[in-house]
A and B are shown apart, each in its own frame.
Chain A
Amino acid sequence: MDIAALLASEWAQLALYAVAGFVLLNVMLGIVTFLVLMERKVSGWMQVRLGPMEIGPWGILVTVADAIKLMTKQDVVPRHVDRFVFRLAPALIALPPLIAVSLVPFGKNLIFADTSVALLLVLALTSLTSMAILMAGWGSNNKYSLLGGVRSAAQDLSYEVALIFAALGPVMLAGSLSLQDIVKAQGGVWFVFLQPLGFILFLIAGIAELNRTPFDIPEAESEIVAGYHTEYSGMRFALFFMAEYANMFLVSCIVATLFLGGWQGPVLPGVLWFVLKVFAVIFVIMWVRWTFPRFRVDQLMTFGWKVLVPLGLLNILLTGGVMLLV
């Protein structure tokens, strides 16, 4: 048997990809677990309290306990739901962030799939989430869920446009849609200094895409109980929960990649810089959540279309103009 030929053959490549994908999936699940804990602790500290402390030393095993609880709950499917749609929605919402993470460059040579249209793929995958929310809202046979799902569809649609406009700035500066190329183009100076407006716009639009306060109308707890995931319990709810944090991680990765220089950084290894930047962005997202009240639906739409989209266009204009002159 020729070992070298075997290793170079396609089967070996496929096997390698499978193993790497499995590792990535588990890393993502681990990160989601950590993020839930981080949210609870950070929100606790901001609210002058301690957060969970009893389970595990300093409360670090709290997500494990949550996961066990959710997995062992009774699976309730209400009577008159649209069965196919109801069951598909949690799966459909949990998959896109897990897939899209494979396109993000974690380090100089640490990227799962280096495609030349990575950014486009990532944005397309995040749109799938809004479809899944609409499915959950419709399929639950519940007025509250329907309200939540419809609101979310409107919101996600509006902020997609703003997101894409804000993301076009780094694309113009780097000249490519590939995320690895965009990071490599930030070797000199990070794009956040060249594109401060674009950074803010992308962050705000990203928070709106995540359905987090101040844009969390779809799951506004005080108005319509729990919005589109009212009727889900047990493992199905766990998938929604997981999807929210996985999405948050994904959006932070994209922010770090597009604006904060990805894995670029002086002394430490690239992966460490990347992780630091991503968690800094995640902290900012959590900080914003626990400070502000939420927008009303029409104010949200006004803000998206009348403020963010014109500013996004202005950003593109300025970037193009400056690039032409310099």
Chain B
Amino acid sequence: MLLLRIRSLALSAYLLGDGMAVTLRYMFTKPVTLQYPHEMKRLPERTRGTLVLYADIERMKCKCTVCLVCEVVCPNNSIHIDFERDTVNKKKVLTKYYWDADKCIYCGLCVEGCGFDSLGWVPEFEISTTDRRKLVWDEKDMMQAWLTSIGRKDIDAKRVDNKWY
């Protein structure tokens, strides 16, 4: 009986020591932390960062044909489009394209639904402001976001492949 107790005590001590060995080993391995403002993770292509409108650079206009699919398919009513009917050419003309970055749930249905390749995602997630009203973007903001995201060499330089195995 006593021998059993001593054996179980010894076994417990060994198992406790084994657990401590695991923790000690990790103390000497490279940490997995990415120091955020100085190092940024390389984001995959399909990342849903910020919604942008692709712009036709020469004419500085967006390619949106006001088919209204994105507004209808949005589950959250985060997109609101103002348009005028051009009765001469029998087309709709975009006046304002509002996207509420605050309400949006970043589901991507609008981008998938757009048949004219004018909406897209860019891997830019630092769009927070101190004023909520500034988070309602119009089409100029969205095109600007796309243009700024194309050549961000400073951010690209910081991007790191965070993989440790």
User: Are both chains from one complex?
Assistant: yes
Distance in angstroms from B108 CB to nearest chain A CB is: 32
Given A49-B32, A288-B20: 14 more A-B contacts, CB < 8 Å: A45-B31, A46-B23, A46-B24, A47-B26, A48-B31, A48-B32, A49-B33, A50-B35, A53-B35, A287-B23, A291-B22, A291-B23, A292-B19, A307-B9
**CB-CB contacts below 8 Å: B1-54 with A:** 9, 16, 19-20, 22-24, 26-29, 31-33, 35
| Partner pick for A42 among B22, B27, B29, CB 8 A cutoff | B27
23 A-B contact pairs sorted by A residue (CB < 8 Å): A42-B27, A45-B26, A45-B27, A45-B28, A45-B31, A46-B23, A46-B24, A46-B26, A46-B27, A48-B29, A48-B32, A49-B31, A49-B32, A49-B33, A50-B31, A50-B33, A287-B20, A287-B23, A288-B20, A291-B19, A291-B22, A291-B23, A307-B9
A53, closest chain B residue (CB)? B35
Q: Does A290 contact B (CB under 8 A)?
A: yes
CA distance A26 to B27 in the complex (A): 31
The count of residues in chain B whose C-beta lies closer than 8 Å to any C-beta of chain A is: 15
- Distance (whole angstroms) from the CB of A169 to the closest CB of chain B: 19
A287–B32 touching, CB < 8 Å:
no
- Tell me, in angstroms, the Cα distance from A44 to B22 when the chains sit together: 14
Within the complex, the shortest CB–CB distance from B27 to chain A, in Å, comes to 5
Which B residues are within 8 Å of any A CB, using their own CB?
A: 9, 16, 19-20, 22-24, 26-29, 31-33, 35
Is the beta-carbon distance between B26 and A287 smaller than 8 angstroms?
no
Q: Which chain B positions have C-beta within 8 A of A42?
A: 27
Docked pose: A44 CA to B26 CA in angstroms: 10
Inside 8 A of B27's CB, which chain A residues have their CB?
42, 45-46
Chain B residues within an 8 Å CB radius of A307:
9
> Which of B20, B23, B28, B31 touches A44 (beta carbons < 8 Å)?
B31
Considering only CB atoms, which chain A residue lies closest to B16 in the complex?
A292
CB-CB nearest in chain B for A42: B27
Cβ of A48 and Cβ of B26 under 8 Å apart?
Answer: yes
Does the CB pair B23–A290 fall under 8 Å? yes
Enumerate the 9 nearest inter-chain pairs by beta-carbon distance, A residue then B residue, closest first.
A50-B33, A291-B23, A45-B27, A49-B33, A46-B23, A46-B27, A50-B31, A49-B31, A291-B20
Residues on B with beta carbons closer than 8 Å to the beta carbon of A292: 16, 19
Hey, which chain B residues are within 8 Å of A291, CB to CB? 19-20, 22-23
- Bound CA span A64–B19, Å: 33
Q: Which residues of B contact A47 (CB under 8 A)?
A: 26
Measured between beta carbons, the chain A residues less than 8 angstroms from B19 are 291-292
Give CA–CA (A292, B13) in the complex, Å.
Answer: 13
Question: For chain A residues 38-89, which have a beta carbon within 8 Å of chain B?
Answer: 42, 44-50, 53
Smallest distance from the beta carbon of B122 to chain A beta carbons, Å? 28
Query: Whole-angstrom distance between the alpha carbons of A291 and B19 in the complex?
Result: 7
Give bound CA distance, A53 to B37, whole Å: 12
CB distance from B30 to the nearest CB of A (A): 8
Query: Shortest distance in angstroms between B131's beta carbon and chain A's nearest beta carbon?
Result: 26
Q: How far is the CB of B106 from chain A (nearest CB, A)?
A: 27
Q: Which residues of A contact B35 (CB under 8 A)?
A: 50, 53
A101 to B140, CA, bound (A): 68
Collect the chain A residues with CB atoms within 8 Å of residue B26's CB.
45-48
Please indicate the chain B residues that have their CB under 8 angstroms from the CB of A287 in the complex: 20, 23-24
How far is B19's CA from A47's CA once the two chains are assembled, in angstroms? 13
Distance in angstroms between the alpha carbons of A45 and B23 in the assembled complex: 9
Greatest chain B CB density within 10 A among A44, A48, A50, A53 is at A48
Residue of B nearest to A47 (CB): B26
CB distance from A199 to the nearest CB of B (A): 13
Q: Which residue of B lies closest to A290 (CB)?
A: B23
CA distance A53 to B33 in the complex (A): 11
Instruction: Quote the shortest CB–CB distance from A310 to chain B (angstroms).
Output: 10
> Which chain B residues lie closer than 8 Å to A46 at the CB level?
23-24, 26-27
Query: Bound state CA distance, A42 and B23, in angstroms?
Result: 11
Q: Give A46 to B20 CA distance when docked, in angstroms.
A: 10
